[in-house]
Structure 1
Amino acid sequence: MRFDLVDLQLFVHVVEAGSITAGAERSHLALASASARLRGMEDLLGVPLLLRQRRGVEVTDAGRTLLHHARMLMQQMERMRGDLGDYAKGLKGHIRMLCNTSALTEFLPQALAIYMQEHPHINIEVEERLSNDIVQAIIAEQADIGIIADTVDSADLQTFSFRQDQLVLVTTAQHPLHTVAALNGSLAFADALTYDFVGLAGDSALQQYLNEHALRLGQRLHYRLRLRSFDGICRMVESGAGIAIIPETAALRYEQLMKIHRLYLTDTWAVRNLLICVRQYDELPTYARELINAIKA
């Protein structure tokens, strides 16, 4: 099956415009040439892509499938043009990095600061994901470097120690759980699941991680509020809106500013070693290897 980019762009334009004539104009092609290209695509596939009617065209099921893939390819081409355009402006490298919530919010900003100053011609694209998803993305070469928790299987990747991440529960001195922890020295995640939580908004990797552990206990977390920062979460905990589980580094920071207390969980998954993971360290560009060396523990 051979379609060139002109064919795919033409098809997208025709569908979006609703007619072959308008699609040909958008693609800067003569109508006869555009019609021939569309017929050639249909002949090659052996199925109709468009239903030609007096007032324009409609897309068939096969056409919708092609449209979906054509749009993805066009988007990738635009990203490629943008990336290559950056090189023309002096960019020397681009690193795609995936990491979990704790790495992104608590450790990476400081870890990357010096590297970015020393490498002004390197761009780093950072995206938050679950550790399991990061492993699969690195294996599939969808990213260059990942930062994951050691609770997932990374046997197929090379790993380097990054930081230790301890999750703690934060509450007020008046909350019943504070009394439980004071008596026992710590508490289990299961003890907290009957209370209201304050959590991160959106599709946060940390919230998904906590939700998974609640489901393993046959329960669900009940969120009264979802916010976009640990600062906002701690302020709402201080107001009595609920309890929260956040990285200890964040709890220590806000404990100095607010009337909140951190409580340690007995669950083993609450203490995680964060690892840098790559497919093959020696195959990475020099600037990517230098980044790993700069941020690893």
Structure 2
Amino acid sequence: FDLVLHRARMMQNQIEAMTGDLAAYATGLRARVRLMANTAATAELLREILPTFLVAHPGIDIELDERPSHEIAQAVASGAADLGIAATWAGLAHLEQKPFFIDRLVVIAARNRPGLEGRTVNLTELLGESFVGLSTGHALQEHIARQAARLGGHLHVRIRVPGLDNVCRLVAQGAGIAIVPESAARRSARSLRRLRLTDDWATRQLNLCARRFDDLTPQAKLLAAALA
């Protein structure tokens, strides 16, 4: 009986909390902003920008969704997202844009790994290598896989793990090579060797986008200002 009573109280507390949240949104005391970003942008956002914003604006909640750039462009255009951060190649011309940052993809390998000599490499040269990849569904991994398919090949991914830091950690221990944003490689520079990826698609301008920045809610405008 005590266990049943305890569960009933927990459910009541959850219902009261949800009711309170809904009331706060209805009265304008809280607001939620829907933000979509690709893998590289998400990693940058979570390092400092979003934590700082959330602390400074306790009444604003953010729904962050990681997606490939082409899906972000579609979502922002359709109104499924308030703001997006995507690569310009994804077709953002119909959206208003502001620069976010330049994302350069690099190849990383363990410092003591033989082969891959030199400072540059292209994807064609890597198709026979063993990779450490991001978990299925990650925007960056899908982007790289599409580029390999364009070349008529595929990546041999030995293991897929969540998060760029985990990818860098496994590569440093010799589990394989990987393609990651340069910013992620720099954070693990002591344990990794880095090669510039020369393919055109490996350097991407990432832009913040919206249907119209002037039409955003006040809360979304605050977030846009922090991101731009």
TM-score (norm 2): 0.86
Count of residues in correspondence between the two structures = 211
The aligned amino acid for 1:129 is R
The aligned amino acid for 1:218 is G
What's the counterpart of residue 84 of structure 1? 22
Contact 1:91 / 1:123 at 8 angstroms: preserved in 2? Answer: no
The aligned amino acid for 1:101 is T
Task: Answer with 286-295 or 272-281: which moved more.
Answer: 286-295
What's the counterpart of residue 213 of structure 2? 281
CA RMSD between the two structures: 2.0
What's the counterpart of residue 224 of structure 1? 158
The aligned amino acid for 1:125 is E
5 Å matches for 1:28-107?
A: 84-87=22-25, 91-107=29-45
Query: Shift of residue 144 of structure 1?
Result: 0.3
Identity %: 40
SS at match of 1:223: strand
Return the match for 2:126 from 192, 198, 201: 192
Q: Distance in 1 between matches of 2:59 and 2:222?
A: 13
Change (3 A) 1:273 1:108: farther
- CA deviations 1:161-184 (Å, max 9, x no partner) are 0111111100124445431xx2xx
Change (3 A) 1:214 1:131: same
What's the counterpart of residue 248 of structure 1? 182
SS at match of 1:291: helix
| Alignment partner of 1:272 is 2:221 | no
| Alignment partner of 1:201 is 2:201 | no
SS at match of 1:194: coil
Q: Distance in 2 between matches of 1:118 and 1:236?
A: 35
Change (3 A) 1:95 1:83: farther
Change (3 A) 1:83 1:284: farther
* Higher relative strand content: 2
SS at match of 2:214: helix
Q: Distance in 1 between matches of 2:125 and 2:161?
A: 23
What's the counterpart of residue 27 of structure 1? none
Rg comparison, structure with higher value: 1
Contact 2:110 / 2:193 at 8 angstroms: preserved in 1? Answer: yes
Task: Answer with 161-170 or 226-235: which moved more.
Answer: 226-235
5 Å matches for 1:53-202?
A: 84-87=22-25, 91-179=29-117, 182=118, 185-202=119-136
The aligned amino acid for 1:139 is A
What's the counterpart of residue 233 of structure 1? 167
Contact 2:111 / 2:172 at 8 angstroms: preserved in 1? Answer: no
The aligned amino acid for 2:42 is L
5 Å matches for 1:18-29?
A: none
TM-score (norm 1): 0.67
Query: Shift of residue 88 of structure 1?
Result: 5.7
| Alignment partner of 1:214 is 2:152 | no
Contact 1:90 / 1:121 at 8 angstroms: preserved in 2? Answer: no
Structure 1: state its 5+ residue gaps.
1-79
The aligned amino acid for 1:207 is Q
Change (3 A) 1:99 1:82: farther
Structure 2: state its 5+ residue gaps.
1-17
- CA deviations 1:184-210 (Å, max 9, x no partner) are x41111111110100111310010000
